[in-house]
Amino acid sequence: MKSLTQKINHDLVRIYEQRRNEAFHARDERLSRLYTQFPDLESLDRKLRMAGLDQLLAVFEQEPGQAAQEAASFARIEEERLSFLKRHGIDDGYDQPVYVCRACRDTGRVDGDWCRCRRQIIQEILPAYFPDVIDESHIFANFNLNLFSNRELKCGEELVSARGQMAKHQKMAQLYTGHFDRLRERNLFFSGAPGTGKTFLMQCMGHRLMEEGRSVVYITAPNLFDLITRHKRQKASFRPDPDLLEELSMLFHALQTWDLLLIDDLGTEPATPDTYAQLILLLDARQHRKLATIIASNIEVADFSRLYDGRIASRLNGNFLKYAFIGDDLRLRQKNEMP
């Protein structure tokens, strides 16, 4: 069975090959269109290739006089071609593939080292190896406030509707993602009953930031604690499974270092003092790196000190901005309204 690193490397090779194939295919189509429109351009390109070959042969055969003559011929045809391109408004380089990454020409390597684009690709494909994925339909463009009730409910000292409250949360989320570099030190905590839009909103934010090239991890609390536990167990093992340890270490490293961590359904996981201690270490590591974390839970913040380790409640109270989600369970409402 392949390790995660092998799988990712296989994906990287496939992605780079696909990018290069697409670049050459687009180049060939562009040449075909231009040669159909400008037959003289095809003739000039052919002449230039032949002149270049003649010049190379003259140098190889060590004929200085002939080499100079061929060089002059090559320069003359090249000048004629450049004049033709300028006259017809054709950009020089039309006959070259346009790569996604010009630094490595979609090979992943620059001067023997990994190109920076490799990290970006890994950030795009690694979330698929996490146990939870972000729903592709959870984007701001699909946000429908009409799904939320306009009936006013008591929230703290105020009377507000679920629709009005969600409109404020949506505005906050768009502001947060739009100014992420300035606000990323502000962690967010979404609390409320199931089906009130917490997951939808946090995933909308994740999608928006991924579109901007940010690294985002989404994971539910039960899977998070399971991953943390298995990672710790493998590290402490006298004879760890090397492939499993490598996989878990890579995923755990992403939890600690990626731009945004989305933890959903906190409060539904099995409770143990050890896993809570690990969560504290994870939150502290991200806070130290000034990385953003958004947590969604069905438990109110006030109840965390009673149900959770007091240190977790302290961090949620001190390091997170809290947003309450109210209203009925949208999933149940939609199910009941179905014919």
| Same domain, yes or no: 283 and 221 | yes
Gap between the Cα atoms of 260 and 330, Å rounded: 26
Number of domains in the chain: 2
From 119, 148, 174, the end of a domain falls on 119
| Same domain, yes or no: 81 and 201 | no
| Same domain, yes or no: 27 and 145 | no
- Predicted confidence at residue 339, as pLDDT, reads 41
Distances (CA, A) of 249 to 121, 243, 246, 263: 19, 10, 5, 18
pLDDT along the chain (339 residues), means of 10: 72 93 94 92 88 77 74 87 90 91 93 86 82 91 88 73 90 94 89 90 95 90 90 87 82 91 88 78 91 91 71 80 83 48
| Same domain, yes or no: 273 and 241 | yes
Residue from 246, 168, 176 nearest 214 by CA: 176
| Same domain, yes or no: 243 and 279 | yes
Residue from 289, 328, 293 nearest 205 by CA: 293
Q: Is residue 125 part of a domain?
A: no
- Predicted confidence at residue 318, as pLDDT, reads 80
Q: Is residue 149 part of a domain?
A: yes
Q: Is the whole model's pTM more than 0.85, yes or no?
A: no
| Same domain, yes or no: 51 and 156 | no
Q: What is the CATH number of the domain that holds 135?
A: 3.40.50.300
- Predicted confidence at residue 243, as pLDDT, reads 77
Print the domain residue range for 197.
Answer: 130-337
| Same domain, yes or no: 234 and 273 | yes
| Same domain, yes or no: 303 and 202 | yes
| Same domain, yes or no: 114 and 134 | no
From 94, 119, 144, the end of a domain falls on 119
Say which residue the tokens 């140098």 belong to: 59
| Same domain, yes or no: 247 and 331 | yes
